[in-house]
Amino acid sequence: MALVIPEELKAKAEVWYGDEKGQERISFFLREVEMPNGLLPLKDIIECGFVEECGFVWVKQKKKVEHKFEKIGRQVTYGTEISAYVERHKIRKLTGVKVKELLLWVNLAEIYAADPLAERITFKIPSGLYKTFPATAFIIETKEIKEHKEVEKPKEIKEAIAAKE
């Protein structure tokens, strides 16, 4: 089933082509809505679009991607075409993403962080059933995160020493 983007939305959209730009934009969207960076481990992105006015995002990739989130033991498949509406702490009207529950593949409809610190992420299917997991299960440690941790540690140590004096 091909992703149908209404012409009025596509006319207002910013569109990026290629995997490198697509990866940058997906990372940017997840940061902007304050969601974990590993929620969408996509590969070989062809096209990525965003309509800022309503928060509509779409991604087209060469082939579907299967990914296992090891920390929660869940297998997820990302179709060749994924779309959603994004807003702070929420991805809604999600299409193209399925999770394996027991022996069945179930469509995901919504992903949101209910608590203000986004320590837990909830995944909801169209029937209304949901499951909640720790947000840390969906964080991929990147070079920037590693560098940030390395910079923070010495500062924390200096503050602890200063507090003891």
- Single pTM value for the model: 0.79
Count Cα neighbours of 74 within 13 Å in the Cβ-side half-sphere: 19
Say whether 79 sits in a helix, a strand or coil: strand
What residue ranges of the chain have pLDDT lower than 50? 144-153
Q: 154, exposed or middle or buried, with CB in 10 Å at 0-12, 13-18, 19+?
A: exposed
Which pLDDT score is estimated for 146? 44
Which pLDDT score is estimated for 10? 76
Which pLDDT score is estimated for 78? 97
Which pLDDT score is estimated for 64? 95
Which pLDDT score is estimated for 8? 75
Count Cα neighbours of 107 within 13 Å in the Cβ-side half-sphere: 13
Say whether 117 sits in a helix, a strand or coil: coil
Which pLDDT score is estimated for 147? 45
Strand ranges in the chain using DSSP code E only, listed in sequence order: 14-17, 45-51, 56-61, 65-69, 74-87, 90-101, 104-107, 110-112, 120-124, 130-134
Which pLDDT score is estimated for 149? 42
Question: What token pair was written down for 22?
Answer: 């697509």
- Domains of the chain are 7-139 (2.30.240)
| d(C-alpha 97, C-alpha 76), whole Å | 7
